[in-house]
Amino acid sequence: MALVFAACVTTEVQVVSQGPESERLLAEGDAFFRARGYEDALDTYKLAAFAAGTEGNESRGAAASAQVAHVFAILGDFDAGRPWLARAIENATDERADAWTRTLLTRGVYEREQAGSAVALATFTELYDYCLGRELHDRAIQAAHMATLVTDGEARVRWARRGIAEADAAGNDRWRLTLWTSLGWLLEDEARFDESLEAFRVVRRIAERLADEHELLRADWMVGHAQRMAGLALEARTTIVRTLARAERRYTEHGTANDAEWIAHCLRELGELEASEGRRAAALVLFGRARERFIDARIAVLAPRSLALLDARIAELAGDVPVTGGAADRESR
């Protein structure tokens, strides 16, 4: 499935628009989209496009059509989305910012799939520049984030920092949390482990400010992981043991799949620490416990790559092949 960016999410669906039917439906579709209710979003955006046609509002029809195409892309059905994107492109103009920016964002997503990264980057850059001149911070953040998906090396890092600058301008801690997290992983990909650790420390401060226990747990795990990657084994062990205790306490209290998953990630980190110090047997025990928790978390269905990578790591340690040391897999990010 293609990587497609969805906006920073909220778990609550709220619709506040009281205007024309197409406006109300577009806002309702956006609420479903932010909550990752993509099937509901798809149906609602289609209704918004039809309502806009009845009202003779080409701009709002273009905005809704762009969103239909975007959702189809997220669902991996680009063929179904292309006619909707063509309709958006036909009716959107740069005089109407909402329709224009939605259309450019979706056009870039399809160009990435069809024409390659260079063409998509030109579109995301056009979108970013357009938004920058009009203080459209949220859409500029989306453009910058999408640009990180079609660039490499230092260019990716620069785009990530541009997104963070826009989040700072908007004063939006949720965006800051998402973008600093993304930057941390990009820096790890570039083997800039000290900088990655600092990025995750920023994530932790933001999560603490938000008083979001789930995000704080995730941030503590990322800090511990980054400490290990930076060669700070003692600090990493201290951080992960503390985080594991919190995850286990939450699992005892709530028993959710999400809490089971973070127990698994912590156990895997401890396993990597044991392996790095030559204690393969202890590492395999921890990896086995991590695998059990991944099964409890339904990872085999929800994120099968995580389980496959752990299984490969177990096979590596159980055999006679050299130990390579495990980085975090992207599905855990």
Q: Tell me what pLDDT residue 258 has.
A: 86
- The average pLDDT across 111-129 equals 95
CA distance 333 to 312: 19
Average pLDDT of the chain to the nearest whole number: 90
Residue 120 above 80 pLDDT?
yes
- The average pLDDT across 153-172 equals 94
- CA dihedral 16→5→313→204, nearest 10 degrees, is -60
CA distance 34 to 45: 13
DSSP classification of residue 17: -
- The average pLDDT across 56-71 equals 97
Task: List the domain boundaries for the chain.
Answer: 212-327
Residue 46 above 50 pLDDT?
yes
Q: Tell me what pLDDT residue 2 has.
A: 39
- The average pLDDT across 72-88 equals 96
Q: What angle do CA 210, 216, 221 make, to 5 degrees?
A: 155
Q: Tell me what pLDDT residue 35 has.
A: 86
Residue 328 above 80 pLDDT?
no
CA distance 63 to 77: 19
Tokens at 308, concatenated: 């496959």
Q: Where are the alpha helices (DSSP H) in 92-212?
A: 97-114, 117-132, 137-148, 153-170, 173-189, 193-210
The helix (run of H) or strand (run of E) holding residue 259 is helix 257-276
Residue 7 above 50 pLDDT?
no
CA distances from 220 to 200, 215, 284, 293 (A): 8, 9, 23, 19
Residue 323 above 50 pLDDT?
no
- The pTM is what? 0.79
Start-to-end CA distance of the chain, whole Å, equals: 17
Number of residues that make up the chain: 333
Note whether 144 and 106 are within 8 A (CB).
Answer: no
> What tens digit of pLDDT does each residue of 214-261 get?
999 999 999 999 999 999 999 999 999 999 999 999 999 998 888 899
> What tens digit of pLDDT does each residue of 266-322 get?
999 999 999 999 999 999 999 999 999 999 998 888 788 889 999 999 999 998 544
How confident is residue 329, by pLDDT bands cut at 50, 70 and 90? Answer: low
CA distance 159 to 153: 10
Kindly report which listed range (7-21, 33-47, 164-178, 199-213) carries the lowest average pLDDT score.
Answer: 7-21
DSSP classification of residue 201: H
CA 19 to chain CA centroid, Å, is 32
